[in-house]
Amino acid sequence: RPIKWVNDRSESFTTDYHGRDSVFDAELALDDEGNFLAVRVEGLGSAGAYVAGFGPAIPTGVIQKNLPSLYKTPLMSVRVKLVLTNTTPMTAYRGAGRPEAVYMMERLVEQAARETGRDPLELRRQNFVPPSAMPFTMASGVVCDSGDFAAVLDQGLEVADAAGFAARRQASEARGLKRGLGYCTYAEVTAPQGKEMGGIRFAPDGRITLVTGTLDYGQGHASAFAQVLATRLGLPFDRIDLLQGDSDELLYGGGTGGSRSLMASGEAVLEAADQVVEKGMKLASEHLEAAEADIVFEAGSFRVAGTDRRVTLAQLGIDAKGALDVELVTDTPPSTCPNGCHVAEVEVDPETGRITLVGYSAVDDFGTLVNPLLVEG
């Protein structure tokens, strides 16, 4: 009989890993025209009582990679000292350095706008990496392959009805309240490069097992990965099962984290699918008694070119008795730079200090949406 124990909140705070505990000083240099010249960060990052997992990379390497955000800042300096303290260890937990880097850069931009008398939105637009410069190598060395940051900002302001803010502020002031509108633009470096496994197995009953080294704990991997495989090979979506995170079944597994799963496992699945097709061409030529050079693969079937003679991949998988199975480990693609604009609107009671969040809008560019329903939630 299994024995289970669930810690309470107090126990969790004293035993679990924590996400961040750092102190940073940040500076931004601009020329007389308002162009960003350099950004500098110095700080201390707590590792906790002992070093654990990914912890040391969060206030150092992750900050360094994400600090340029979506701006064409040519120079950057990051100096961070790690210290041991008497707290629980720090490691990756919700964002893992990205929110800190974005927060610092956005606060610097706002402060620069105030000190130089510039419109903070126009200062952002002036320093965004333009689409025409893509792919763009950031000061951190990360290559951002695509993005239209100004268009995302404009859409974010439209969704938040920034144009109507003045009227809403006037209405708040008539009630003795203050009203504020704040915005944040960001780009985050996700999916660190590495390796990942992809496996495809055909069962005698017609079901297909997709094997990955990542683990779904709420992200919806089963649907997304099955959709990638079904689209690539023309297989029935409802016949695909996901086998994940089982070390007895894996050649390699990089795990879930850093927004890497679809990038890493998706790429591995695609490469495995292409190898299935390569194997299938030979098996189909034997099945259809035709030269392999005459076999074409389309819409989930192998067909003899110029004829209607065909065999489905699903049927070939059943007949092949394992000969179509593929397992591989592949290098993952370069990191990507999802980006967006978030806008918050608040009311403040100057007598009590009470703050009320009256509106929050977000526009995020995540590139190709493999499964829009999962994105919508």
Domain boundaries in the chain? 1-103, 148-189+337-377, 195-331
* Identical fold, 148-189+337-377 and 195-331: yes
CATH topology of domain 148-189+337-377: Aldehyde Oxidoreductase; domain 4 (3.30.365)
> Residue 192 has what pLDDT?
79
Give the tens place of pLDDT for each residue, 109-122: 999 999 999 999 99
Are the CB atoms for 313 and 335 separated by under 8 Å? no
How confident is the model at residue 186, as a pLDDT? 96
Quick one: pLDDT band at residue 317, thresholds 50, 70, 90? very high
* Preceding peptide of 131 cis, ω within 30°: no
CATH class of 195-331: alpha beta
**300 CB burial (10 A radius; 0-12, 13-18, 19+):** middle
pLDDT band at 295 (very low <50, low <70, confident <90, very high): very high
pLDDT digits (tens, 9 = 90+) for 48-67: 999 988 889 999 999 999 99
Integer Cα distance of 373 and 367 in angstroms: 15
Report the sign of the C-alpha dihedral through residues 38, 43, 46, 51, in that order.
positive
Model confidence at 285, pLDDT cuts 50, 70, 90, reads very high
Q: pLDDT-based confidence at 303, cuts 50/70/90?
A: very high
Mean pLDDT within 187-197: 87
- Cβ-based neighbour number of residue 8 at 10 Å: 7
- Count the Cβ atoms, other than its own, within 10 Å of residue 9: 7
Query: What is residue 369's three-state secondary structure?
Result: coil
Write out the CATH class of domain 1-103.
Answer: alpha beta
In the prediction, which pLDDT does 160 show?
A: 97
Q: 3-state SS of 286-323?
A: HHHCCCHHHEEEECCEEEECCCCCEEEHHHHHHHHCCC
Q: Which of 96, 194, 175, 180 is nearest to 358 (CA)?
A: 180
**Percentage of the chain modeled with pLDDT above 90:** 75
Q: What is the pLDDT of residue 217?
A: 83
Mean pLDDT of 185-206: 91
Averaged pLDDT score across all residues of the chain: 93
What mean pLDDT is predicted for residues 5-18?
A: 89
